[in-house]
A and B are shown apart, each in its own frame.
Chain A
Amino acid sequence: MPLIMLSSPHAHGGDSIRVIMLTVILALLPAAGVSVYLFGWMALLLILTCMVTALLTEAACLKWMGRPVSALLDNSAALTGLFLALTLPAATPWWMAVLGSVLAIVLGKQVYGGLGYNIFNPALSARVILLISFPLHMTTSIIPMSALQPAIDLYDFSLCATLFFMGPEALSLGFDAISMASPLGHIKTEATLGVPVAEALAAYQYSYLDAFLGLEAGSIGETSALALLIGGIFLLARHSITWHIPFTYIVTVLVLAALFNGINPDQYASPMFHLFAGGLILCAFFMATDPVSSPVTPLGQILFGIGCGVLTWAIRTWGGYPEGAMFAVVLMNCAVPLIDHYCRPRVYGHGGRRA
C-alpha cells in the first residue's frame, strides 16, 4: 500500500478548535452567572433554548450538507447559541429565541459553507435580524431582580416558564408592566425630548457602581462590566484573543465620548457611561474578536477596532437605535477581507528596517 505523502512538520502544539471554543465558553460563564442572578429562570431558559436549538440546527445542517455530524463537537454551535442568548433581553419569547438560533446557524454560518467561511459574526447577524424585525422586544428589558421593585419574581420557575412559553398575557400582565428601558435606551428617548443627559440619568436613578457590577437593566449578558472583564482577561491570558481589537475598540469609544462630552455634556454622555452601557464590553472582547469574522493581521485588527469604535459611538449618539455595538461589528465584518489584503505585516527582508 503506497504511503500517502506527509510533509514536515511532524510535530504539533496540541491546539484545537474545540479547546479554543471551549475557552471562550468558559470566559462567558461569569457573565452567564450574573445574568442568572439578575433575571433568574428567564435567563437560564433563554440560554438553554438557544444552545440546544443551535446544536440541533447545526446537526441538521451538517447532515443535509453530507458532512460528519460529529463536527458539531467542535463547540462552535454551542458557543454561538450561548452568545446569542447573552445578547437577548430577558423577555424574549421562546419562539424568538428559537428563530434567532436557527438564523444564527443557518444564515450566519452554514449558508456560507460552514465554520470558517462566514463573513459576519453568526450570533450578531441573527441578533441584528431580530432587532430589526422585533424592535420593541429587543430594546426593552425585564426589570431585574436587583432593582428596588422587581415586577415579578424571576426566581419562580413556573412563573418564568409560563412567561417564556406563553408570554406576559398568560400572567395577565402587560408588557410594559414588567419591562423597563436600559440606561442607553432611556437617555436616547429623553434626548429626543430635549432632556439633558445628567438629568435623564438622575431620573433613572443611575449609578456607575451598579453599572460596573451589572445591577441594571439590559440584555441578559451585557450588563456586568466586571464579569465580562474577568472573562476578557481570561481570554487574553489564554491567548485566545489578542489585545488589539478590544483595546482599540474601547479606547476609540472613550476618546470620542470624552471629546464630545467635553464640548457639550448636556447632549453627549460621559466616557464612563459609554464604557459600562449596553453591549460595548461584550462586543469588544467577545464578538468583535470572533476569529472567523475579524482580521488576521495586527494592523488590520487595530483598524478594525477603531472602525467598530467609531461606528458604535456614532450609532449610539446619532443613530436611530439605542445600541450601536452589534451594528458596528457587523458593518466592519464586511470590510475584513479588504483590511486583510492591505494590512499584511512587513515581510522579513522586504525593506523598512535599517539594513
Chain B
Amino acid sequence: MTGLLYALASFGVFALVAGVVLAIAQKVFHVDGDPMVEKIDALLPQTQCGQCGYPGCKPYSEAVASSQAEVNHCVPGGERVMLQIADLMGVEPKELEAEAAAPMLAFVREDECIGCTLCIKACPVDAIIGAPKQYHTVIADHCTGCTLCVEPCPVDCIDMLVKPELIEHWSWPLPDTKRAQQGHERRDHHASHA
C-alpha cells in the first residue's frame, strides 16, 4: 500500500514540477511572431481579383486571420495556397470550390479601343496604360489575370488569353508512375504536419 502511495506521490510531484516548468518556459521563451494577417498576405498571389469575395488580397487575409473566412477561397492561388494557409492557421485543409483556370493575360484589341479609360480605372495594379481618347494597352508583364477590366469595357474589346508557356520557364513534371501519383496524394498530410 505504501508503495502505491509513494508511486502516486512521486508522479504527482513530477507532474506538478513539469507543469510549472512549462508555464515558465512559455513566458520566458515566448517569441513575438509576425501578425497573422501579414503572413497570410505573403502567401497570396496578389492578383487583387476579388474572386475570393473580398475586395483584394489584404482584406481576404484579414478575414482569414480573424477566422471569418474559410481558407479555400483564393482561386488563382489554387490548392497550393490553400494548403499553405491551412497549415499556417493550423486548420484542416478544405476542398477548393472553383477550378483554378490556366493563368491568363488581358489583351486590348487596340483597333477597337475608344479611349474611355474605364479599364484603366478598373485595373487594381495599374497594368493598363493609356489616356483619354488614346489607345489603351495592357502591360503584359504586370497583368495578374484578375479579369476586372473586361466588364467595364463598353465596346468589349478586351480578351483574356491564356498565358503562353515560355521554354525558359519550362520545368520537369512528376514522373509518370503510380508511386509518384500516390506520393502526391500524400502531400496533403505532409503539408498539414510539416
**Chain A residues in contact with chain B, CB under 8 A?**
4-5, 7
Closest to A7 in B: B172
The contact sample of 7 A-B pairs, CB cut-off 8 A, is A4-B176, A5-B172, A5-B173, A5-B175, A5-B176, A7-B172, A7-B175
Question: Inside 8 A of A7's CB, which chain B residues have their CB?
Answer: 172, 175
Question: Inside 8 A of B175's CB, which chain A residues have their CB?
Answer: 5, 7
Closest to B174 in A: A5
Closest to A5 in B: B173
Within 8 A of A (CB), among B88-123: none
Question: Inside 8 A of B173's CB, which chain A residues have their CB?
Answer: 5
- CA–CA, A7 to B171, complex, Å? 12
Closest to A67 in B: B178
Question: Inside 8 A of B176's CB, which chain A residues have their CB?
Answer: 4-5
- Across chains A and B, which 3 residue pairs bring their CB atoms closest together, nearest first? A4-B176, A5-B173, A7-B172
Number of B positions contacting A (CB below 8 A): 4
**Chain B residues in contact with chain A, CB under 8 A?**
172-173, 175-176
Tally of A-B Cβ pairs under 8 angstroms: 7
- CA–CA, A53 to B43, complex, Å? 53
Question: Inside 8 A of A5's CB, which chain B residues have their CB?
Answer: 172-173, 175-176
Q: Would you give the shortest CB distance from A213 to chain B, in whole angstroms?
A: 46
Closest to B176 in A: A4
Question: Inside 8 A of A4's CB, which chain B residues have their CB?
Answer: 176
Q: Would you give the shortest CB distance from B183 to chain A, in whole angstroms?
A: 11
Closest to B177 in A: A4
- CA–CA, A245 to B86, complex, Å? 42
- CA–CA, A5 to B175, complex, Å? 7
- CA–CA, A5 to B173, complex, Å? 8
- CA–CA, A5 to B174, complex, Å? 9
Closest to B178 in A: A67
- CA–CA, A4 to B173, complex, Å? 10
Q: Would you give the shortest CB distance from A341 to chain B, in whole angstroms?
A: 14
- CA–CA, A5 to B176, complex, Å? 7
- CA–CA, A7 to B176, complex, Å? 11
Closest to A116 in B: B179
- CA–CA, A4 to B177, complex, Å? 10
- CA–CA, A7 to B172, complex, Å? 8
- CA–CA, A286 to B176, complex, Å? 35
- CA–CA, A4 to B178, complex, Å? 13
- CA–CA, A267 to B175, complex, Å? 60
Question: Inside 8 A of B172's CB, which chain A residues have their CB?
Answer: 5, 7
- CA–CA, A7 to B175, complex, Å? 8
- CA–CA, A5 to B172, complex, Å? 8
Q: Would you give the shortest CB distance from A251 to chain B, in whole angstroms?
A: 38
- CA–CA, A4 to B176, complex, Å? 7
Q: Would you give the shortest CB distance from A12 to chain B, in whole angstroms?
A: 14
Q: Would you give the shortest CB distance from A6 to chain B, in whole angstroms?
A: 8
Closest to A4 in B: B176
Closest to B182 in A: A113
- CA–CA, A7 to B173, complex, Å? 10
- CA–CA, A5 to B171, complex, Å? 11
Q: Would you give the shortest CB distance from A231 to chain B, in whole angstroms?
A: 32
Q: Would you give the shortest CB distance from A47 to chain B, in whole angstroms?
A: 33
- CA–CA, A18 to B175, complex, Å? 23
Closest to B179 in A: A116
- CA–CA, A46 to B172, complex, Å? 51
Q: Would you give the shortest CB distance from B184 to chain A, in whole angstroms?
A: 15
- CA–CA, A56 to B54, complex, Å? 59
Q: Would you give the shortest CB distance from B136 to chain A, in whole angstroms?
A: 39
